[in-house]
Amino acid sequence: MTNQAIEDLKTYVGGLQDLGHVMGLLSWDMETQMPPAAADSRGKQMGILSELHHQRATADTLKHLLETAEATGSNAPVDKALLREVRRHYDHATKLPQAFVSELTEVTAKAHHVWVEARQKQDFSLFEPLLTKIVAMNRQQADYLGWEGSPLNALMDLFEPGLTVDEVDRLFNQLRAPLVQLVQAIGNSPHHATWPFDNERFAEAQQKELTVKVLETMGFDFKRGRLDKAPHPFCTNFSINDVRLTSRYHEEDPFSALLTAMHEGGHGLVEQQADMALERTPLPGATLGIHESQSRLYENILGRSLAFWTYLTPAIKAMYPECAAMQRLEAQDIFRLVNRVKPSFIRVESDEVTYNLHIMLRYELEKALIENQLQVADLPAAWNEKMQAYLGITPPNDSQGVLQDVHWSGGMIGYFPTYTLGNLYSAQFWHTANQDNPTLNSDIEQGKLAVLTQWLRDKIHRHGQVDLPAGIVQRVTGQALNAHYFLDYLWDKYTPLYQLSETPSYKTTVS
């Protein structure tokens, strides 16, 4: 029996998804294809689409369709998820007064320019007044949306539904000391790999050829997707059957473009492997945290594993027959090269061990700001203090410190934790994947990457956002999210790599 109220809602929401996807295409085109002089006209085109999208997302028609469907109800999990997500989006689009949204758009547009200038001039004081305004407006936004416990809960919920400071604090308290300990232990190790290339150049065409081969082996379907170049790599999609990856190529480094594409390919598989029944609803894909877990699983857990390089080393050596330094490398050598750990000032350049300390620092500062326990004027000092405590280094200036990320100038507070959540999810999923597939490691050594991809499709991707993140973790792994899986993954991998002799503190204490 068809539920007519649900069907009517789906038809309306389908049009809304279409408009969102058209906006996505305009952005993709702008980043990858558009002639540079067309920026102004593209801005106008985005403007009118954004206006039409907003009208449709806040229309009384939608309110009535949604209320009717909610009143009718449905026991089907997909229908329930549809009602939940449409309600979330509708409430978010309508709870904020139009004047507030307009002001926030204006403030962040201005803040972006000022942030670029401040970063260039290494002068936080230029950015301070606007960041103060942005923090206040985010606090106001939390009040409009409603919150319990901490105003940050309302903001984080926008990026990862259901996430709370209690949960983040619980996880980050598990992580903090063992990560600091691991960073220090690696820092003290004499067994750091030396970069073997000097003036060698690895041509973009070869890098792309290998990248496509690996993406295909991962199971990315090029009949339903593409790979293009973009200065800031991303993945976007306009349908389950139209998923577009981007990567960038550094000719002096034969590994980074590949790992970047595997990261984006992980995002891409989440979208491509959704059930077609979810097409034109808000349900394919995943929350930011779950999405990031898949990209990091492919980039780090798979792409930086010995098993993967056991498979790929012959292929990468064959790609550059005239590079003597490459010909000397074995799988173990590349494994070491792609897992070099070193504290750095810049988050996006950091390795998988130090990365989460960058995130924890940002989360703790955001929380203090939004809860009025820290003033924006005191932010640079607080930043540098935490950098010293967590990574043992102090930025030489604010451009390499508090000014490095674009997020705050864009008004995004509460976004950063999703990156670390992704790492935690990925390790816990990986643990279960190996339990379910006892020969997974040797499958990967033989290039059978599709074993992993199919498991992820069946367990996670095909269901899209039918469950919330906590429900997905519970369903797939049989328990709630636990940071120990990620800590175990790191310590187990890096102990032999750096010949560490220390026992991780978290294993000797009850937690």
Binding residue (CB under 8 A) for a second copy from 4, 7, 15, 146: 15
CB-CB contact of 41 with 29 (8 Å): no
Is residue 239 involved in binding a second copy (CB under 8 A)? yes
HSE toward the beta carbon, residue 185, CA cutoff 13 A: 21
Residue 208 C-beta: closest distance to a second copy, Å: 15
318, two tokens: 């064959």
Q: What is the chain's alpha carbon radius of gyration, rounded to the nearest angstrom?
A: 23
Of 31, 85, 167, 264, which is the active-site residue? 264
Distance CA 388, CA 383 (A): 9
Q: Under the criterion CB under 8 A, does residue 231 sit at the interface with a second copy?
A: no
Instruction: Give the chain's end-to-end CA distance (angstroms, integer).
Output: 50
**Among 7, 38, 125, 394, which residue interacts with a second copy (rule: CB under 8 A)?**
38
Options 35-43, 99-107, 456-464, 480-488: segment touching a second copy (CB under 8 A): 35-43
Residues 318-377 that bind a second copy (CB under 8 A): none
Shortest Cβ distance from residue 28 to a second copy (Å)? 9
For the bound state, the minimum distance from the C-beta of residue 7 to a second copy, rounded and expressed in Å, comes to: 16
In degrees to the nearest 10, what's the CA dihedral of 302, 305, 306, 312?
Answer: 50
How many CA atoms does the CB half-sphere of 97 hold within 13 Å?
A: 7
Q: What is the DSSP string of 86-154?
A: HHHHHHHHHHS-HHHHHHHHHHHHHHHHHHHHHHHHT-HHHHHHHHHHHHHHHHHHHHHH--SS-HHHH
Residue 45 lies near a second copy (rule: CB under 8 A) = yes
Judged by CB under 8 A, the stretch of 11-19, 64-72, 80-88, 362-370 that binds a second copy is: 11-19
The answer to whether 484 and 173 are in contact (CB under 8 A) is: no
The one segment of 123-131, 145-153, 238-246, 329-337 that binds a second copy by CB under 8 A? 238-246
Indicate if 264 belongs to the active site.
yes
Cα gap 152→370, rounded to integer Å: 7
- Cβ at position 169, least distance to a second copy in Å: 41
487 and 504 in contact (C-beta within 8 Å)? yes
CB nearer a second copy, residue 140 or residue 241 = 241
- Applying CB under 8 A, does 212 fall inside the site for a second copy? no
Q: Is 275 in the site for a second copy (CB under 8 A)?
A: no
The region of 43-51, 204-212, 260-268, 433-441 touching a second copy under the rule CB under 8 A is 43-51
Residues 6+ apart with CB under 8 A from 213: 315
- The yes or no reply on residue 222 touching a second copy (CB under 8 A) is yes
**Annotated catalytic sites, by residue?**
264
Site residues, a second copy (CB under 8 A): 14-15, 18-19, 21-22, 25-26, 29, 33-38, 40-42, 44-45, 47-49, 52, 221-226, 238-243, 279-280
